[in-house]
A = this chain, B = another copy of it.
Amino acid sequence: MQFKFSSLAEALKPSEIRELLKYVSVPGLISFGGGMPHPSSFPVDDIANITAALLKEKGKQLLQYGSTPGYEELRIQLVNMLKKTENISANKDLIALTPGSQSALYSLSKILSSPGDEVICEAPTYLGTISAFRANGTVMRGIPMDENGIKTEMLEDKIKSMVSSGKPPKFIYLIPTFQNPSGISLSLDRRKHVLELVSKYQIPVIEDNPYAELRYSGKRIASLKSMDTEGLVIYLGTFSKILSPGLRLGFTFGPEPVISKMNLLKQATNLATNTLAEAIAAEYLKRGLMDKNMPKVISMYREKRDTMLNSLQENFGDEASWSHPDGGMFLWLSLNGKINTTTMLKRALENKIAYVSGSAFYPEKAETNNMRLNFTYSDNNQIVDGIGRLASVAKEELSVVA
């Protein structure tokens, strides 16, 4: 049988990062590729205790279908958490729970845009978002960044030109804090500029904020949602970086019409989220375990970040440049312009070092000499060894291409 697929399905391509996971089990490979938390960050004992107590107390309820909006106690706990961490005044009825925030990204592009519609994002941007939006035929237009995040003057020009051509962007997608892949945070001034722009042109903005709790230095910058007085910001969070990605739990807080449409789409795509996972997350927050656990995680990740930054300085010196993130999971390394990091990946894997080449993160024309490095998954000695290997690989590559 020769299967014929829809045009959207024909356009689906394997993501480089997912394909890389195949190599993760190669003995001796050091991977800076995936975006995985360190296994020791998972509060296994807490989760075991919580799960045992929950199943004992209300197992029959937690193994049953949940309602589409999801476990109410979790939405209540999220309202408290958002107030405390981001000074966001949420409402439990305007929080949509999804099986991972990946699912929210997919849903939002599906409900806010039709195939061929254009939206604006940072360039580079999260490759999972590129996959999610592409699966709906949403076309992404990238705006360059500098050390203060997306260049909002260029953003303004782009919006103006799209508006004057009669096709304003359907929405703007941003990761303002510890951006994936760059590690860069959008400055407060530019955040305010973004809000002015979306208010002036009445464009919804998706604020994807998975990493905010992972701050190792510097001061918290107000989230877009906390400054949103007009209901233009759709805020995305996740338990993947503060509890466990295996549980697949993301949450969206946004304006009523958007949350209502998301829940209708959830009926069609999922019916409900995993009730037990929702209850585990609720109890984790209720018991104050996030406040207990995160300082340990932050301390561990800070050391990893510093180890990677020091190793880069020692091994690359002036031969490359890289971002200096105050938090999150990634930094962005730019090699000599003659090196194509996609081409170089084969040599890297042969030397048992993995990364994701920068081109994977560009929705349009890609720069080719960059890569994303994850510093949370590897142990400190692996980071030192891995950056050393990477420098050797880059040197060899340059000697061939130069």
Contacts and interface: CB of A to CB of B under 8 A. Distances in A.
B245 A64 contact: yes
A67 B21 contact: yes
Interface in A104-160: 106, 110-114, 117, 128, 131-132, 134-135
B269 A106 contact: yes
Contact of A270 (B3, B48, B102, B275): B102
Contact of A3 (B13, B117, B258, B276): B258
Given A60-B40, A64-B39, A9 B277 contact: no
Given A1-B204, A51-B55, A274-B277, 7 more contacts: A6-B111, A9-B264, A12-B111, A18-B67, A39-B64, A99-B273, A248-B271
A111 B9 contact: yes
B100 A132 contact: no
Contacts of A128: 267-268, 271
Contacts of A1: 202, 204, 230-232, 255
A18 B66 CA distance: 10
Contacts of A106: 268-269
A325 interface: no
B39 A269 contact: no
Interface residues of A, number: 83
A294 B15 CA distance: 40
Nearest to A258: B3
Given A8-B114, A202-B1, A274-B246, A268 B55 contact: no
Nearest to A168: B4
Interface in A1-51: 1-9, 12-15, 18, 21, 34, 36-37, 39-40, 42, 44, 47-48, 51
Contacts of A275: 246
Contacts of A42: 59-60, 63-64
B248 A6 contact: no
Interface of A: 1-9, 12-15, 18, 21, 34, 36-37, 39-40, 42, 44, 47-48, 51-52, 55-56, 59-68, 99-100, 102-103, 106, 110-114, 117, 128, 131-132, 134-135, 170, 202, 204, 230-232, 240, 244-248, 255, 257-258, 261, 264-265, 267-277
Contacts of A12: 111, 261, 264-265, 268
A56 B48 contact: yes
A100 B34 CA distance: 26
